[in-house]
Amino acid sequence: MSVQLWTWILVGLSFALYFGIAIWARAGSTKEFYVAGGGVSPLANGMATAADWMSAASFISMAGLISFMGYDGSVFLMGWTGGYVLLALLLAPYLRKFGKFTVPDFIGDRYYSNTARTVAIICALIVSFTYVAGQMRGVGIVFSQFLQVDINYGVLIGMTVVLIFAFLGGMKGITYTQVAQYCVLIFAFMVPAIFISIQMTGNIIPQIGMGSKVEGGTFLLDKLDALHTQLGFNEYTSGTKSTWDVFAITLALMVGTAGLPHVIVRFFTVPKVKDARKSAGYALLLIAILYTTAPAIAVFSRTNLIETVSNTSYTEVPQWFKNWENTGLIAWDDKNKDGKIQYVAGSAIEGKKPIYTDARGVNGERLISNANNTTNELYVDRDIMVLANPEIANLPNWVIALVAAGGIAAALSTAAGLLLVISTSVSHDLIKKQLRPNISDKGELRAARASIFVAVVIAGYFGINPPGFVAAVVALAFGLAAASFFPAIILGIFDKRMNKEGAVAGMIVGITLMLFYMIRYKTGLIGVMDPRPASEWWFGTSPEGFGTVAMLVNVVVSVVVSRLTPPPPQHVQEIVEHIRIPSGAGEAHDH
């Protein structure tokens, strides 16, 4: 069967499963809508958390980033896995014991202030929309290639699917859908990795295969280093980032993880505090399967790409190349008119994406109008490396289709969790807690569903007009979470003296600083039309790592302001003492 048919079958079956679960788990109350009724088992919650966590950035984009960045890409692995450990140990049990199932709710009650709650709502919306933009972009990429539709239509299809199972089941529907999505995405990620590891090194375990010898007795990484050097790139196994920037990005991703609202809320879907700890352990184990495999896929796909297309005649390149060319995610411009693809260091185009014309070249290639005058003739979008990997390695059609189903599952599971956070922030934290305290349970449920609809429309817009490739957008969302939420949460748990004035001042300063830097140095909307060059970065810190600086500023501002203003009420200080008592087994109580 063709790839197209296999894709329709596997994606259709997985969607039927998701919709069936959403209908079965339809939420009938706000508790079911927000926290799945609080009755999810630790293992199921661990699988759902892993699916929520392993977004399109993890599945589609992380290995692609590592394949292009080499050693420098390790910051994403260290930051995202380290961050989950930080969340599981330092935050999740305490927040679960506090008994508030949203971050704005925790901040509003811990800091005895609706102003603090409102600032937290705004921060949650900014973080979640930045994050969800990357997910919708990932959905569009997968649909555009494997269902042979325009990338914008792919985003619209993804919006519709997410809306249905988030709208129906809320957290209850999303939780059990995510259990199924974890099974799909991990199977889809591992099968091609195992196939290619056997194909290239004879080793069935990809993590070991990456460090094994290939035909001819050379180590695979040594071979890739040699290929890179020949083409003018830096050695794959050597880094170019400064030690400070590596540290800043890693820490920003770590503390950003610990401040992500859509991950934190997962710990309120289990019955007890000890179950929150157990589900965190399960999730970490399940996440590690993908995260330890990603570097291997990066090495395999990078090696295969270079060997397949570099210095190859366009008329002889495999069909996958031309298929992906039609999506706009790979492009070739024959600058020296020799009919061969010259892939060397340097950007092949001006701008972030190729601009195609309707004309075809003498070799049948799609012509681009924004090629520059560098020697490099090939543009490759990083987001295609995982998706195109099975095709590059000439794997069976069903494996190629399986990756499509996995990519869709990864993007949809996280998008659903994020959209629920957005709707909860509006319906529970803004409407119920502030604007209409006497709203009925059904009224709040209607408001939550209306919020999801609006959020999906906005997320779809960002998916159609993305600010960058998937993992870069997601990395910025982590920076925003680090700059805003992490200090307020961690100080709220471990510093009895932290008061509302300190928390509000810190959150406002932190997220404003991060937004300014992100817009100034990533999108270029402040003062100039283009992003500012790396030579102008503050302290040599990239936008992805600036969350660390903004977070530290937040901490300093929070502590200083809190010491210059009155301490929190005695009952709040007693709550802080109580949530740090490691009772472990008891039910969580509201305060």
40-84: pLDDT as tens digits = 788 888 888 888 777 777 777 788 888 888 888 888 888 878 887
The token duo for 89 is 């140990």
Q: Residues 519-552: pLDDT tens digits?
A: 777 765 544 445 566 677 888 888 888 989 999 9
Spans in the chain with pLDDT lower than 70:
25-38, 100-101, 145-147, 165-171, 466-474, 523-534, 581-591
pLDDT at 554: 95
- Angle among Cα 527, 531, 535 to the nearest 5 degrees reads 105
Residue 265 sits at φ, ψ, to 5 deg, of -65, -20
Domain regions of the chain by residue span: 3-225+255-304+391-474, 330-380
Q: What is the value of pTM for the model shown?
A: 0.79
Please give the C-alpha separations between residue 433 and each of 114, 118, 125, 349, 449, in angstroms, as whole numbers: 8, 10, 16, 51, 17
**Is 392 in contact with 301 (CB distance < 8 Å)?**
yes
pLDDT at 551: 94
pLDDT at 561: 95
Backbone angle region of 392, left / alpha / beta, with phi > 0 → left and psi within -120 to 50 → alpha: alpha
Closest CA to 106 of 557, 506, 485: 485
**Is 496 in contact with 568 (CB distance < 8 Å)?**
yes
Orientation of helix 273-309 relative to helix 42-53, angle to 10°: 40
Q: Please give the CATH number for the structural domain made up of 3-225+255-304+391-474.
A: 1.20.1730.10
